[in-house]
Amino acid sequence: MDLNVKRLLKIVQIINFLRTLWTYNKKPLMKKMILPLRYAIAISGCLIAYFLILSLMDLHTNPVFSFFNAIITAFGIYAAIRSYKSEQGENFEYSKGFTVGILTGFISTIIFTVFFAFYATELDEEFLPNLLKIIDREYDDSIGIVSFVVAIMGFATSVVATLTFMQYFKKSWNISQKQ
């Protein structure tokens, strides 16, 4: 079987698995966690799909394309906070909206990092050496270090995006003046 066909079959399996996670048990087990969890699964599903599409085109070893991961993550965090605010209405609190954004980003980062490590070790064993070819280095790199860097980048993106969007969603303390 061709390598691209195998990758495509893996993509279909992963998408079906994520779809199953998304629709499983419509009654929330953890009332406070269900909104961030759903958006996190959607974000990580988009990140994984984007990564696999890049791998089909053999562009997944170019780190420049990882900047779009931040856009996907930021959009998902924005959607989660917006959904939470519309759900809460006038009872929306900054700290709880911030928590929703951070949980959404961190959970999606963890899911994507686990996938990334699995992909690099099990699906494409040449991925890591090809990725590290472009970096001039004098130290030993392992999948642990690279996965750690992927996770840190995801966590940092989550914090920055959440802080940014909460400025938009927070209640204004400005005193309105009548003219």
Environment class of 55 (CB within 10 Å of its CB; exposed 0-12, middle 13-18, buried 19+): buried
Contact 73, 47 (CB under 8 A): yes
Are the beta carbons of 48 and 73 closer than 8 angstroms?
no
Q: Is 80 exceeded by the pLDDT of residue 77?
A: yes
Check: CB of residue 69 under 8 Å from CB of residue 47: yes
DSSP result, 82-106: HHHHHHHGGG--HHHHHHHHHHHHH
Amino acid identity of residue 37, one-letter, is L
pLDDT of residue 27: 44
pTM for this entry: 0.74
CA distance 163 to 159: 6
**pLDDT for 140-163, tens place per residue?**
677 777 888 889 999 999 999 999
Of 76, 90, 91, 85, the residue nearest 162 (C-alpha): 76
84-132 tens-digit pLDDT: 888 888 887 888 888 889 999 999 999 999 998 888 888 777 777 676 7
115 within 8 A of 46, measured Cβ to Cβ: no
CA 98 to chain centre: 16
